Amino acid sequence: MSWIQKLYETYENCQSEIGVVTSKKNVPLLPICHTTQKAQVEIVIDQNGNFIRARVVPRDDSRTVIPCTENSGGRTRGEAPHPLCDKLQYVANDYNVFGGNKDSYFQSYIDLLSEWMKFEENKKVNLILNYVNGGSVIKDLINHKILYSSNDNKLLKQRVGKKENKEVLDIFDLLPGRINKKGEIENWQADAFIRWIIEIPNDPQTTVWTDRQIISSWIRYYSQTKQNKNLCYVTGEELYMADMQPAKLRNDGDKAKLISSNDWDGFTFRGRFTDTKKHNNYQTCGVGFEITQKAHSALRWLINRQGYSKDGQAIVAWATSGAEVPDPLADPLSILGEEELISDDSADVSTAQNLAIKLKNKIAGYKADLGDTNEVVVMGLDSATLGRMAITFYRELTGSEFLKRLEKWHDTCAWVHDYRYNPETKKRIRFVGAPAPKDIAEAAYGHYENDRLVVDEKIKKSTVERLMPCIIDSQRIPRNLVESATRRATNRIGFKKNEDWNKTLSIACALYKNLNQKEGYSMALDENRKTRDYLYGRLLALADSLEQWALNEAGEVRQTNAARFMQRFADYPFSTWKLIELSLAPYKARLGGKSQKRQELIDRVHAMFDPPEDYTSDKKLSGEFLLGYHCQRAALWKNKDGNVSEHKQKTIFEEE
């Protein structure tokens, strides 16, 4: 239960953030007894409880903070109304009149509002209560063309005819579609979620979902309804117990829970416990109502604000003090920001060192804010089913230890990358450090769909999960992951876009460098390294550049022989190199004396093989040849001014 304790501490340390909405897309830190919901319809009533108008709520403004009970906050079906804002099935007394095909829960909604008002009067809640009791909610919405009905006054399940104005949203644009028995898509209007606005003269607070008086009133009412006290396994104190646990952790539609609710009617506990709920003596692991509400609210807020969430997988790192921490799944560009890298758009080694120093200084800045003793928690979540969620990764670290391990990851897996792109400047952004795990998954397991490089979501999730211990625990990177990325990088002709191959190449170099840390590989060309695989990589880059130079001179756009034979070269380097070297003859002749220095450099690399048998061996190359290739290529790309040419197929390689 330590994860609940840490989240509870985080909530208590971030009290100033409760209810603060920084963006329409962001989930605020919720007060207890509240949840969020996407609203489709907004109804405005006056100070007398009369309908004024209504509107369809755009998606970017639909997230609404609403009061909830434990049952309604975790409901998947059945009678569990939210106490203020809810679907038409709950708030409309005329639901059945207009063709509602589910049970109406209007009476339970009214009973809940009435009990709340008996405990503590609130004028705005009473106005809503009076209006819905009038029984005309759906009728008013039809009259004002928010909902649409047929000639027999039944709500339509599909739009009739073509939409007149495509620029204006209607209710059918916002409701989730479902397929009926005929295979047709239906948008059932009765599923629309309603929120309220109360317009009272001289009262600027019109939206009920941001009214702090209503929020506080509901918390006071619902807290006093708790009757059962027992031992809270989080705090070790006697507290009012939670009967159900909150959902909606990863998004507004998330039904999976980290703690399963107590099942007293089914067979979950059969043969394991003797007491029943009515005895107020829980033999199961109990959690205090307020504790679990605050902990789950903090987790939901953290995931939305600073977590990685994709296809059900969520990973988040946070400091319990509320201080900012870097995202462990981010690349250096995301940590530093593009502005920090603009002045360093170069590939020479000094600039690479500068970028690495900038990242180190940025992490040092986080350390100054965190201190040595503040705790950092890293937590991963995923669900195999719609109802159950699991903690797939969990670590508690001191702030200094977390940053130390993150810095080590970006140091040992550092390489020069340029696959990030700014659509405004239409330029690639160069950065140095470890690639993001999602990009590593693409490099290792990507494939093409409609000319776009993608990776299966299950494989991506698995890869991210496998890389978490490498980042947080400094564990050894999986060898098969490195081999897969290396194998794909050597298959250059398998890529439809040159930029996709460049990305895979730089990531493969980063992974191989991390796997072989004892070798001390440099991101810059190491002219003193005489290992066989590294030298063969240099030879391939030199041959590739010389032929590309000649092709550009002639205005030809095609792949070089070095590019086409790259995979074969990796498997049979000596025999393939003879073919590549012989094919260079016409290109040397075309360039004439301009290529003399390039040819001399090839000869110098030839002479570095020691013993000579290394050169004549056809033994398969390791991923080290990619490092030699990438470093040699980067060194050739640098022109006389020390700048770098763009990574394009038609790059002109300047004479050294």
Q: Quick one: pLDDT band at residue 190, thresholds 50, 70, 90?
A: confident
Is there a contact between 348 and 642 (Cβ–Cβ < 8 Å)? yes
Is there a contact between 165 and 173 (Cβ–Cβ < 8 Å)? no
Distance CA 345, CA 360 (A): 18
pLDDT for 81 beyond 90: yes
Indicate the SS3 state at residue 441: helix
What pLDDT score does 565 carry?
Answer: 96
480, burial (CB in 10 Å: exposed 0-12, middle 13-18, buried 19+): exposed
Q: Which DSSP state fits 203?
A: -
Tens digit of each residue's pLDDT (9 = 90 or more) over 202-250: 999 999 999 999 999 999 999 999 888 888 888 888 888 888 888 888 8
Q: Which DSSP state fits 531?
A: -
What pLDDT score does 279 carry?
Answer: 41
Tokens of 198: 């109360």
Size of the chain in residues: 656
What pLDDT score does 180 carry?
Answer: 67
Distance CA 419, CA 366 (A): 26
Indicate the SS3 state at residue 418: strand
Section 479-502 average pLDDT: 95
Element (H, E) at 51: strand 51-56
What pLDDT score does 638 carry?
Answer: 62
pLDDT for 649 beyond 90: no
What pLDDT score does 271 carry?
Answer: 52
Tens digit of each residue's pLDDT (9 = 90 or more) over 274-312: 554 544 445 566 889 999 999 999 999 999 999 999 888
Section 521-529 average pLDDT: 93
* Beta carbons within 8 Å of 222's beta carbon, 6+ residues apart: 33, 67, 69, 83
β-pairing, 390-398 with 415-422? unpaired
> What is the reported pTM?
0.85
Q: Identify which has the larger pLDDT, 3 or 168.
A: 3
What pLDDT score does 637 carry?
Answer: 77
Is there a contact between 244 and 387 (Cβ–Cβ < 8 Å)? no
Closest CA to 513 of 437, 433, 438, 446: 433
Distance CA 311, CA 305 (A): 17
What pLDDT score does 263 carry?
Answer: 54
Q: Which residues pair with 239 in a beta bridge?
A: 230
Section 394-419 average pLDDT: 94
What pLDDT score does 281 carry?
Answer: 44
**Distances from the Cα of 577 to the Cα of 235, 493, 597, 653, angstroms:** 69, 17, 20, 21
The secondary structure of 449-463 as a DSSP string is ETTEEE--HHHHHHH
Element (H, E) at 507: helix 498-515
Q: Which residues pair with 29 in a beta bridge?
A: 18
**Distances from the Cα of 180 to the Cα of 160, 174, 227, 264, 389, angstroms:** 16, 18, 44, 35, 30
Q: Identify which has the larger pLDDT, 246 or 581.
A: 581
Distance CA 414, CA 315 (A): 22
Tens digit of each residue's pLDDT (9 = 90 or more) over 430-466: 889 999 999 999 999 999 998 899 999 999 999 999 9
Is there a contact between 391 and 6 (Cβ–Cβ < 8 Å)? no
What percentage of the chain reaches a pLDDT higher than 90? 62
Tens digit of each residue's pLDDT (9 = 90 or more) over 359-369: 888 888 888 88
- Range with the poorest average pLDDT among 197-206, 291-300, 344-353: 344-353
